[in-house]
Chain A
Amino acid sequence: MPVSAPVIRVQHLTHRFGPNEVLHDIGFEVGRAEIFGFIGPNGAGKTTTIRAMATLIEPSSGRIEIDGIDVGLEPERVRSKIGYLADNAGIYAKLTVDEFLAFFAAAYRLEVARAVDRALELTDLGASRNELAGTLSKGTRQRLQLAKTLLHDPDVLVLDEPASGLDPRARIEMRDLFVRLRAAGKTVFLSSHILTELSDVCTSVGILEKGQLLAYGPIAEIAQRLGRRVPAPESAVPSMLAETLAARGRRAIKLRTLGSAEAARQHLESQPDVSSVRASGDQLTFQLAGDDGVLAELVKRLVQAGVGVVGIEPERDELEAVFLELTKKGET
């Protein structure tokens, strides 16, 4: 949640391609040193939003501010503040890594050697500096793009699917880099399809579907609104809706048992607060309506029924659940 003035502020953003409205009145804010994940299915309007933020398209209406600068009015100033990495960004295949970065450093009117060395160090690309960009692996190429994005030391990074096509190792490295950048005070705005990846690294998210923003904020707080017995503030959610929310409050729990989980499944299915029980080997997952007290009571009953409970934890990927919950409602 932005405490001071937001670094990114989007208000009533609407965009049309011909007669098709691809973004409908979306608005959100991202605070300084946040990692904001932008989620949505293909065609939801993520890239259009990101391109508008990066000054590459002029939205049909609405306003975007980066660090207080209106993107529509002063794109040149915004460009010096942001580092943008496109989903399918190209490279000059016949330039070496060093030359590629030197070109962009010169374009940014930076001190070329220093800027290149800094970017290479930050992205750990020093060993590949003399290799032709066209011969690099997908992961290294993506790091090169990121190095180019970081050349001018931007305050805000706008990254469209930065981890797409990367192997697990490269993804972990990239995630670590985002965390380091955040620690250095940078604001990272990134979109991704891989929800687990975002939930590990993002401080807040925005969920977009069919050009409409369904939710945004810290993942836990969105989840709380959607699934826990905590009434929402009157100002944000009407009371009737809050009641509905509380009535449906449930969360996903993962349970590991000693031996087969079948007995536990049968026992859980008879419990009133439990639904959607799925067992697989020694593990089962279920939806629980209630707080930690209800959960403790449930475990006690399981143990009393002779089920060996080895471990119990909330389902790890809350973001996935939130995403499915929100987008499922859109379908209905």
Chain B
Amino acid sequence: MSFGPTSQKLLLKSPIFARELRQAFRTGRIIVLLLILAVLVGLFVLGIASALGMGRASIPAGPILFQILFSLAYFIVCIVGPAVAAIDVASERDGHTWDALVLSGLDVRTITRGKFWTAITAIGAFLLMIAPASILCFLLGGVGIGELVIAFLLLAVIAAISVAYGLSVGAWANGVGAATLLTLVSALLAAPFLYFGVGVGVSFLAHATWPDVPSGAPVWLPLAYVRASFDGWYLVLLIVLPVAVTGLALWFLYELTVLRLTSESDDRATGLKRWYVTALPVVGCIAMVPGIMTRGSMRLTALLGGLGGLFTFLVFCAFVLAGDALAPSRRVEFRWHRLQAGWHTRVLGPGLVQTSMLLLVTSLLAMGLFALVGAGILSRGIPSGLPPPSAIGLLTCGEYWSAFLVFIVGFLVWSRVRSDSVSGARILALVVAAIALAAPWIAFLVFGYAGSKRVQDALLIAAPSPLYVFAMLSAIDKGEPHLALTSGIACSLGWISMGLALFGLGARRATKIVAERRTLRASLESRMAGETTHLPFVDPERLRPAGG
């Protein structure tokens, strides 16, 4: 049986999706698995409902059932979603069909999108299957239809991120076995963390912002959408922020999947760098939100949290972008030449040194701007004169962390150029960063504290650690900033010097390697240009008498 007229249209529009759907219906494996899970969830919900006396119990059964049902669904989506997507991609390699797909003219982005829609359709089918069971929450009272609908939408968003994550793992894994194991293990570790962190943990903040939202309840966001009063913060926190975070996460995972599925000669940099350039201002703004929302003494903590978040994001980006090629490949240069690519295309294209330079400049700008705006917020309402200690503290933090970021970027460039593999360079940089973070504190604990009568003086031993900023903040707060600030700034200058030196060494070596490769290539090209082939050819070595 061939594709019917409707399927034909889908086939022409999205061949991968049409084919996968046809296969899924014929195999039925994933549908049966999801159906079993849906039935189990339904039975469980029914059991809970009957245990609570179908609404006759003294405790409100609807909200409890709501929390249980959507918590269960959350775990299933988080654990099954990535595995389904990862297997879908990895099975093309295991089944030896990947080459045929690539050669058929489908580009990797189209394949990725097709796989995404296939996996999301499967998870969507599961959500549809459990929808009838969710009606019970409404029937038992305490939960509105709007909250149910939004809860399902929220699950769909979680499913999209899970599937996108699964695709990136599947694109990286060697086979179905590895892909399944990796996704299951990582999902089993991450799902409870996010459930208790973003679910239970943030619900207290949500309750503080909107008292109608219950505190301590993991599934709070759908309730917030319905129960929070519509104002500017509603718009920022419940619409702009979730859309921005979801969009950036999906985009990043998509680019990561595409990168992992393309070859080394392809342009693997532009997609990720476009994402970075877009994400940086968005993340900067998001990081600023807690500082703007908070009042009083908590404002500095909120701004420090935001600055720390921005710093962590930038370190993450430094590690991700360190995987860039040393220089654009012949293929990429050929395309640029043919398209008469402008400077912006080239800046966003492959090339480790220019990528790191872009990262360095933009990240220092972002950190500096954040610290300055934050200091401005903290200084608001203060009579003209010296800025308040909190503003000085925030600027100090910004300065120290920016300095450490320069070191991280410089070290990554250097180690990437020296190392045989990208992973090796990343691991080395991670180890060095961890040592820089922890070793001074260990030294302080082992030697400093015991040998000194004043803890503040002994803390100087920990000055090389980026976490020393908290000691500096404490000293500023106590009105004794001189020693701590001097040592902190001296160490930060040390980090900057080391970072710039490593960056310079790495860049010099990268330039040398690229120049050598280009010289070799040019020499080979000139040899090839003047060559004619002799036919027939027999290796002269083979014509010599044996042993001769």
Interface residues of chain A, those whose CB is within 8 Å of chain B, are 1-2, 6, 9, 11-12, 27-29, 54-58, 61-63, 72-76, 79-80, 82, 84, 86, 88-92, 94-96, 98-99, 102-104, 106-109, 112, 129-130, 148, 152, 204, 212-218, 221-222, 225-226, 232-233, 235-238, 241, 244-245, 248, 326, 329-330, 332
Contact of B331 among A27, A62, A63, A75 (CB under 8 A): A75
Which residues of chain A have C-beta atoms less than 8 A from B525's C-beta?
A: 63
**Cα of A329 to Cα of B538 in the assembled complex, Å:** 12
Known A-B contacts A72-B330, A75-B331; A216 and B22 likewise in contact (beta carbons under 8 Å)? no
Taking A11-B531, A107-B15, A326-B539 as known contacts, 20 extra A-B pairs with beta carbons closer than 8 A to each other, sorted by chain A number, are A28-B537, A58-B263, A79-B103, A82-B103, A84-B103, A86-B100, A89-B99, A95-B23, A106-B11, A106-B18, A108-B105, A148-B100, A152-B105, A214-B542, A215-B542, A226-B538, A241-B543, A326-B538, A329-B546, A332-B546
Q: How far is the CB of B338 from chain A (nearest CB, A)?
A: 9
Known A-B contacts A1-B535, A79-B103, A112-B8; A102 and B540 likewise in contact (beta carbons under 8 Å)? no
Contact check, A237 vs B540: say whether CB atoms are below 8 A apart.
yes
Q: How far is the CB of A226 from chain B (nearest CB, A)?
A: 7
Contact check, B2 vs A80: say whether CB atoms are below 8 A apart.
no
Contact of A99 among B2, B107, B536, B547 (CB under 8 A): B2
Which residues of chain B have C-beta atoms less than 8 A from A84's C-beta?
A: 99-100, 103
Contact of B23 among A72, A92, A106, A112 (CB under 8 A): A92
User: Does chain A have a CB within 8 A of B339?
Assistant: no
Interface residues on B, range: 35 or more
The closest CB in chain A to the CB of B536 belongs to: A217
Q: How far is the CB of A311 from chain B (nearest CB, A)?
A: 30
Q: How far is the CB of A248 from chain B (nearest CB, A)?
A: 7
The closest CB in chain A to the CB of B525 belongs to: A63
Contact check, A225 vs B538: say whether CB atoms are below 8 A apart.
yes
Contact check, A58 vs B264: say whether CB atoms are below 8 A apart.
yes
User: Does chain A have a CB within 8 A of B382?
Assistant: no
Known A-B contacts A29-B535, A94-B26; A86 and B11 likewise in contact (beta carbons under 8 Å)? no
CB-defined A-B contacts under 8 Å, sample of 16: A12-B528, A27-B533, A28-B533, A55-B103, A56-B103, A72-B265, A82-B103, A88-B96, A102-B8, A103-B15, A152-B105, A221-B535, A225-B538, A226-B543, A236-B537, A248-B545
Q: How far is the CB of A145 from chain B (nearest CB, A)?
A: 8
Which residues of chain A have C-beta atoms less than 8 A from B101's C-beta?
A: 107
Interface residues of chain B, those whose CB is within 8 Å of chain A, are 1-3, 8, 11-12, 15, 18-19, 22-23, 26-27, 95-97, 99-107, 263-265, 329-331, 334, 520-521, 524-525, 527-528, 531, 533-548
Q: How far is the CB of B452 from chain A (nearest CB, A)?
A: 53
CB-CB nearest 4 A-B residue pairs: A217-B536, A90-B96, A107-B104, A90-B95
Contact check, B12 vs A112: say whether CB atoms are below 8 A apart.
yes
Contact check, B104 vs A104: say whether CB atoms are below 8 A apart.
yes
**Cα of A42 to Cα of B547 in the assembled complex, Å:** 25
Which residues of chain B have C-beta atoms less than 8 A from A89's C-beta?
A: 96-97, 99-100
Which residues of chain B have C-beta atoms less than 8 A from A329's C-beta?
A: 541-542, 544, 546
**Cα of A74 to Cα of B330 in the assembled complex, Å:** 10
**Cα of A3 to Cα of B538 in the assembled complex, Å:** 19
**Cα of A329 to Cα of B22 in the assembled complex, Å:** 54
The closest CB in chain B to the CB of A9 belongs to: B533
Which residues of chain A have C-beta atoms less than 8 A from B103's C-beta?
A: 54-56, 79, 82, 84
Which residues of chain A have C-beta atoms less than 8 A from B548's C-beta?
A: 244
Contact check, B105 vs A95: say whether CB atoms are below 8 A apart.
no
Which residues of chain B have C-beta atoms less than 8 A from A82's C-beta?
A: 103
Contact of B544 among A28, A95, A241 (CB under 8 A): A241
Q: How far is the CB of B295 from chain A (nearest CB, A)?
A: 58
Contact check, A217 vs B537: say whether CB atoms are below 8 A apart.
yes
Of B527, B533, B544, B547, most buried by chain A (CB within 10 Å of CB) is B533
The closest CB in chain A to the CB of B97 belongs to: A90
**Cα of A100 to Cα of B103 in the assembled complex, Å:** 15
